[in-house]
Amino acid sequence: MAKLIPTASTHLVLGGARSGKSGYAEQQAKQTQLDVVYVATAQALDDEMGARISQHQQDRPSHWQTIEAPLNIASTIRQHSHATSVVLVDCLTLWLMNVMHHELDLSDAVDELLIALNEAKGHVILVSNEISMGVVPMGELSRNYVDNLGRLHQRVAKQAEKVTLMVAGIPMAVKA
């Protein structure tokens, strides 16, 4: 079967923990019938995270190209976004945490990401946790993180052609 040649697009997939967002994003990537470049932002800083990463690796098709980019997703998108591929970034939540942990300029990092998405030559699917629907965190650092993630989601969603919210494994179209 011939591969579909898409126009460039950005799809943001949001959801809570274990909501099915990664599986849904992977399904969307497979359906394009294009080469998939999987951009992993997680770092195995403890055994539990290592086990999660390992499970995600086992769940993905072995022919997908995987790139570990805990900080540099904008340059990775620029390098790997082509009309014959789909770039799947999993996830913005951990990327933002990495940017903040390394005390990089958050505004510059987000601006660079948005520019890269705007310049993308193929499909880009971004996965992120929607964590702002609960109580306001007590600690300043946690509040700052939740606020920054909410602002990041707003900016990416505004630019994206499609936004999906996963609830209990069910995709809900927020922006189509």
Report, as residue numbers or ranges, the catalytic residues: 56
E strands of the chain, at which residues?
A: 9-15, 35-40, 65-68, 85-90, 123-129, 162-167, 170-175
Rounded CA-CA distance 78/173 in Å is 27
Q: Identify how many contiguous H helices and E strands the chain contains and give both numbers.
A: 6, 7
20-43 burial, b at 16+ Cβ within 10 Å, e below that, comes to bbbebbbebbeebebbbbbbbbbb
Report the 10 Å Cβ neighbour count for 162: 17
- For the beta sheet containing 35-40, the strands, ordered from the edge strand earlier in sequence to the opposite edge, are 65-68, 35-40, 85-90, 123-129, 9-15, 162-167, 170-175
